[in-house]
Amino acid sequence: MENKIPSYLLEPVDDGPNTAGSKKARLTFLDKTVMNSARAAKSIYIQSENAKGISLIHNIHPFIKLLSLIYIVVIISLVNSLLSQFICTLFILMLFIIARLNIATVFRKIFFLAFIFGFLVILPASLNIITPGKIIFHLFSLNRPVHFWIYNIPQNIGFTENGIQVVALVFLRVLNSVSFAMLIVFTTSFPAFVKSFRILGVPDTFQMIITLAYKYIFILSRTIEDTYLALKSRLSGNIKNSNIRNLIGGRIFFIFKRSVRIYENTYFAMISRGYKGKVILHSQKKLTLFDFAALLIILTVGICFLFI
C-alpha cells in the first residue's frame, strides 16, 4: 500500500536556536503527577497483559508458579542463615537470567523496595540500644548510662556485630521475597495468575472482584488522564497550580461518574458475551511433566536452603 503521509509531516521540526532570553517551558507539579501516574499505570497494564515469552520460566503452568511463590516465601522467612539467604539471592538471579528479563530495570525497583522496607526501617535494630553486642562502629557517647522506663541506654552508642547481622538478614529476606514475587509477576499474565487461584479453592466471586477491581483502576486512571488533557487543551499559557486544583476539584464527581458508566458498560458487555458469574478455565493449558519437574526442583531447592 502506497504511503499517503505528506513529506512535510515526516521531516523533523527545527525549533531554531535557543536565545539567551528564551525560557524553557516547565511542567507544573500537577502535570508531572498526572503524567507519571499515567505512565506507571500503562506500564503495569501492558506488562500484565503481555507477560509472555519463550523462556522456560514463562512456559511453567501458572498454578505451579503460585505454589512456588507461596513455598519460597515461607522458606525465605524461615531461613536464619546469611549464607543460605545469599545463595537464595544467587538462585533467584539465575532464574531472572533464564527468564531473559531486563535485570537492570527490574532489580532497580527491587533494590529500592528492599532498601526502604528491609534496610532503613530495620536499621535502628543494629544499634546496641536494641541489639546488645560488641560495638564495631562507635557513634557517640553519653555522660552516663540512662535508664528510661524499661529501657537501659548504655553510655557508648554504636552499631554492634549482632545488630548488623540482623539488619543484613532482614534485608536479604525482603530482597529475596520481593525478587521472587517480581519474577512470577513478570513471567505470568494477570488473567492466568488469577485463574490459578481457583485450584486453591478461591471462590469465583472473589476472583471476579479482583479482576474487575483491577480493570476499574485502569479505567479510572485513563478517564482522569483524558479529562485532564481535555481541560489543558482549553487553557492558554501557564496557570497557577491552585487554579488548576480548583478546576480539577470541580470535576471529580464528573470523572467518577464517567468511570462508573464505562465500568458498567464493560460488565454489560461481559453479560452479553455469556458471562454467568463463573471463571472458565478452558483457555489454560494442562499440567505437563515439565511443570511437575519444575515443582520438584523448587521443593528440593527450598529444602536445601533450610539445611545449609
Q: pLDDT at residue 47 above 80? A: no
Q: What is the DSSP string of 235-290?
A: --S---HHHHHHHHHTTHHHHHHHHHHHHHHHHHHHHHTT--S----TTSPPP-HH
Tell me if 58 is assigned to some domain.
no
Split at pLDDT 50, 70, 90, the class of 243 is low
Same domain, 136 and 149: yes
Tell me if 262 is assigned to some domain.
yes
Contact yes or no for 58/101 (Cβ under 8 A): no
Q: Number of folded domains in the chain? A: 2
Same domain, 110 and 172: yes
* The pLDDT value given to residue 93: 92
Could you tell me the pTM of the whole model? 0.69
Dihedral-angle region of residue 274 (phi above 0 means left; psi in -120 to 50 means alpha; beta otherwise): left
Tell me if 255 is assigned to some domain.
yes
Dihedral-angle region of residue 188 (phi above 0 means left; psi in -120 to 50 means alpha; beta otherwise): beta
Cα–Cα–Cα angle for 44, 47, 53, rounded to 5 degrees: 165
Q: pLDDT at residue 296 above 50? A: yes
Residue 135, domain extent: 79-188
Please name the residues in contact with 65: beta carbons below 8 A apart, sequence gap of 6 or more: 184, 187, 188, 193, 196
Contact yes or no for 172/89 (Cβ under 8 A): yes
* The pLDDT value given to residue 175: 93
Cα–Cα–Cα angle for 179, 184, 187, rounded to 5 degrees: 120
Same domain, 159 and 211: no
Helix axes 62-78, 161-187, angle to 10 degrees: 180
Q: pLDDT at residue 48 above 70? A: no
Tell me if 240 is assigned to some domain.
no
Same domain, 131 and 207: no
Q: What is the tens place of the pLDDT at every residue in 145-185?
A: 777 776 677 777 888 888 889 899 999 999 999 999 888 88
* The pLDDT value given to residue 89: 93
Tell me if 216 is assigned to some domain.
yes
100-111: average pLDDT: 84
Tell me if 280 is assigned to some domain.
yes
Q: pLDDT at residue 205 above 70? A: yes
164 SS3 class: helix
Tell me if 301 is assigned to some domain.
no
202 against 1, higher pLDDT:
202
